[in-house]
Structure 1
Amino acid sequence: MSEHESNNAPSHDGDTGEDFRCGTVALLGRPNVGKSTLLNALIGMRLSIVSPKPQTTRHRILGIATSDEGQILYVDTPGLHRGARKAMNRSLNRAARSAMAEVDLGVQVIEAGRFTDEDEAVYDALAAQSVPRLLVVNKVDKLKDKGAMLPFVSKLLEERSFDEVFYVSALKRKGLEAIQQGILSRLPQQPPIFGPDDVTDRSERFLAAELVREQLMLRLEQELPYATTVEIEQFRDREDGVTEVHAVVWVERDGQKAIVIGQGGAQLKAVGSGARRAMERLFDRRVFLRLWVKVREGWVDDETALKRFGYTD
């Protein structure tokens, strides 16, 4: 299988031999290094939402890639970051750290040519776990001085230990096959956990909320996307074959509500149109989406609200 082909439609019929491998892999890194883009590329479909803004990923997302050789369960985690002052930030860090304790292998994703204090914190957390660890240097296509790559990695490895290093461009789908083989070779030999056609353990209801939130991340300016979350109030398949989705966009203040709605409702309409089209592509059927905007003051620092919105275990 080439790195440009989807690997979520395996050819095997469910009979796995003794060499079949299966295990869980955590994709770890500071915010905005491309973990979600890498997950989507590795499983061959757009599962985890992506935006240019850091901390787009707020939940652990499981992506399943099954081939004749094995089944890899990729866990896309929120980016580990320092200065977690609010309950939301602490929740994201807990989600990322807890993922490390439940996997067979850890993959730290960094940006080519850049290793920050937050990258160091991710490494320290991963090194504390007794699992193999791989380093993925992402965005190699954006590094202008290609000759600086090997010295950069050599210096990085002087005081840090990884089992193997991979150079990729997740956005351009370059170097993926080598990562897959490197991961598979380190997973335990055991039968698959999920079916050959499964791509995630998340429900369509959850994915619908994420697709609305993705549009908010893409369309809203500055800090406003971080004050929003999405709750699905209704998700049903109608007799006419259309899936009807009712969703609430929660914000912290009345002023934010006005911005999300926009003049004459234009902003909310654009968010809804983009999310509906994304749902129809992902679910492969027609979708009727209705959106509302409501205010819950201080929800990002409210443990009760976070639990309601699915951010805590």
Structure 2
Amino acid sequence: MSEHKSGFACFVGRPNVGKSTLTNALVGTKVAITSSRPQTTRTVVRGIVHRPDAQLILVDTPGLHRPRTLLGERLNDLVVTTWAEVDVVAVCFPADEKIGPGDRFLVGELGKVRRTTKVAVVTKTDTVDPGRLGEQLLAVQALGEETGTDWAEIVPVSAVSGDQVSLLADLLVGLLPEGPPLYPDGELSDTPEEAIVADLVREAALEGVRDELPHSIAVVVEEMGLREGRPADKPLLDVHAIVFVERDSQKGIMIGHRGSRLREVGTAARKQIEAMLGTPVYLDLRVKVAKDWQRDPKQLRRLGF
């Protein structure tokens, strides 16, 4: 019988190239938040793929970018530390966007991490025709040669249509070291439930807000627990969370006319939390201002960064 393999892989790429969607597709459930807005992933979320022959632990890092705030610098440090600690780094390039300076910067930085195996993944293949896909695969190969990066594999996938997702899983597993499972069977993520809930609230809050808001939103779950005195077959999870913004004007946008916006966010987040945790949820949301928190080390710590 062949040996069991286990290890860590992480997806990297410019913001919004489909890393979280791919993590979710491989794990088969929603563990990483996916939003149409760049830079929505801030914590390292691990999704765990359980197979008879292997356990593949996926680490989802924030997109690497040229930092403009203290938060930005901390996120970048987090990315580079993660690269050095995993077995495989998979760099994502969307099929529908030409390779740009951001990709070159990223692959150049990755080149400094010597020991880690590197794979290139061309994502969103469902959005282009075969000719355009072929050009992108050649461009990715050329980028590897230019930067002295030795791609172990170059794989085209579509997380949306599921095309080649299982092939990618096989390739990643093939590059892992032999070892026992690192997590109990059935666990899909080792992120604390409060952090997942905070992320889902944040994802709901990000949908449909104007461009100035995304990076100004942070969510903290103050309290979370099963309501006492309920019958065992009718549990209710109480969640009290605070949505922090940086300015009073943003607070107004977040709450909306007579609270309409906050109610929509609450409803959308509650549905996602219930689907994720499999329990009916009572969600209490409040909005507070934490002035310019992205630039203030004390506030960053308090908000979990």
TM-score normalized by the length of structure 2? 0.93
CA distance in structure 2 between the aligned counterparts of 1:236 and 1:150, rounded to whole angstroms: 49
1:66 equivalent to 2:50? Answer yes
1:1-313 pair list within 5 angstroms:
19-82=3-66, 84-112=67-95, 113-129=97-113, 130-144=115-129, 145-159=132-146, 160-239=149-228, 240=230, 241-311=235-305
Runs of 4+ off more than 4 Å: none
8 A contact 1:134–1:162 mirrored in 2: yes
Aligned length: 294
8 A contact 1:65–1:72 mirrored in 2: yes
TM-score normalized by the length of structure 1? 0.90
RMSD: 1.4
Q: Secondary structure at the match of 2:207?
A: helix
Structure 1 segments unaligned to the other structure (5+ residues): 1-16
Give the drift of 1:58: 1.0
Structure 2 segments unaligned to the other structure (5+ residues): none
Greater Cα shift, 63-72 or 171-180: 171-180
Q: What is the percent sequence identity of the aligned residues?
A: 36
Give the drift of 1:179: 1.0
CA distance in structure 1 between the aligned counterparts of 2:183 and 2:137, rounded to whole angstroms: 38
8 A contact 1:219–1:271 mirrored in 2: no
CA distance in structure 1 between the aligned counterparts of 2:274 and 2:290, rounded to whole angstroms: 30
8 A contact 2:99–2:139 mirrored in 1: no
Greater Cα shift, 109-118 or 222-231: 109-118
Structure 1 pair 18–190 and aligned structure 2 pair: CA distance change class (3 A):
farther
Structure 1 pair 150–108 and aligned structure 2 pair: CA distance change class (3 A):
closer
Q: Which letter maps to 1:303?
A: P
CA distance in structure 1 between the aligned counterparts of 2:121 and 2:12, rounded to whole angstroms: 10
Q: Which letter maps to 2:174?
A: S
CA deviation digits over 1:117-136, x for unaligned, max 9?
11112212222221111000
CA distance in structure 2 between the aligned counterparts of 1:108 and 1:40, rounded to whole angstroms: 16
CA distance in structure 2 between the aligned counterparts of 1:249 and 1:187, rounded to whole angstroms: 39
CA distance in structure 1 between the aligned counterparts of 2:141 and 2:203, rounded to whole angstroms: 37
Q: Secondary structure at the match of 1:255?
A: helix
